[in-house]
Amino acid sequence: MDVYLPVANLAVNGLVIVLLGAVTGILSGIFGVGGGFLTTPLMIFYGIPPTVAAASTATTITGASVSGLFAYSRRSGVDYQMGAVLVAGGIVGTLLGTGLFNLLQSIGQIDTVINVLYVLMLGSIGSMMGRESLQSLRAKGTAPKRAAKRRHHPLVSSLPMRWRFYRSGLYISPFAPLILGIVIGILTTLMGVGGGFILVPAMLYILGMSASVVVGTSLFQILFTTMAATMMHSLTTHAVDIVLAGLLLLGSVTGAQVGAKIAVTAKPELLRLLLAAIVLVLAIAMAFQLGVRPREIYSVVPL
């Protein structure tokens, strides 16, 4: 089932793209991450230009986040006050990210930058997830240690203007989640990722949020940040391929519900270990691709 992508200017197998979207949705439902950090590099391997892949994936993550957010909202697993501050930072970040994207595109370096960022990101995420999963599996047979009380980072304590975030159980400055949201917004615009792979650990270990609301709040922030990123790409870079985004969205909405069910039944340590292995393989493959001489040394395109 070949489908023509007008912005990417190539024909693809529609079923393959729907399956890639399902990967995004399943990861969103299980881990509270957008899934774009896997979907975008997989599309690049499939032959879709990095700029189109990054811009179109942000649209897909929006759909997956809506589906996953409803599931967590029914369980009262969303801190909407914290989410609103994160979203405000995310919108500022998308504006900054769009300017950086346009600058890199104007000097012809955007594709290389996207690939290098993915190699660094996937390598670090895969290594950390793999190490944590192996440590958890080894500790299964030992006596469980008493969990330490979760506290926010000392730097967060030094920021002024404290607010109470009742659902998260925090009394901290709103500047901490605002800055975090800006970073996620820049990453979303540049790389087409939801940013949940950074947001979830940061909310746990830097902000000190309650684990019961972390995933749902992450999906809330991802939803609005990816909407802003998609809008900015559509208005400025014109890299969003509606046909590609629609196919990915079809798979991601279904995948998010499947992921939420898997998260309840499967062993989280084994899931994280499997995901870490996939991420590391992708990082190595992308690093290899960066160093290989291309088939075409240059190409001629109409201006």
pLDDT of residue 192: 67
Among 215, 187, 230, CA closest to 73 = 215
Phi then psi for 150, rounded to 5 degrees? Answer: -75, 130
Most confidently modeled range among 26-35, 51-60, 149-158, 214-223: 214-223
Distance CA 8, CA 55 (A): 11
Backbone angles phi, psi at 162, to 5 degrees: -80, 140
- Does 295 have pLDDT greater than 50? yes
Tally of CB atoms within 10 A around 19? 15
Q: 166: exposed, middle or buried (C-beta count within 10 Å: 0-12, 13-18, 19+)? A: exposed
118 is written with which tokens?
A: 């993915």
Higher pLDDT among residues 81 and 122, named by residue: 81
Q: Which residues pair with 4 in a beta bridge?
A: 11
User: Which phi and psi (to 5°) does residue 194 adopt?
Assistant: -75, -25
* Among 271, 257, 275, 262, CA closest to 72: 257
Domain segments of the chain as ranges: 2-137+151-291
pLDDT of residue 147: 46
Phi/psi at 167 (5° precision):
-65, -35
Answer whether residue 226 shows pLDDT above 70.
Answer: yes
Residue-level pLDDT at 34: 55
CA-nearest of 223, 200, 224, 207 to 168 is 207
pLDDT digits (tens, 9 = 90+) for 53-80: 777 776 666 666 776 677 777 777 788 8
| Rounded CA separation 171/203 (Å) | 14
SS3 164: strand
Instruction: Report phi then psi at 3, rounded to 5.
Output: -130, 135
* pTM over 0.75, yes/no: no
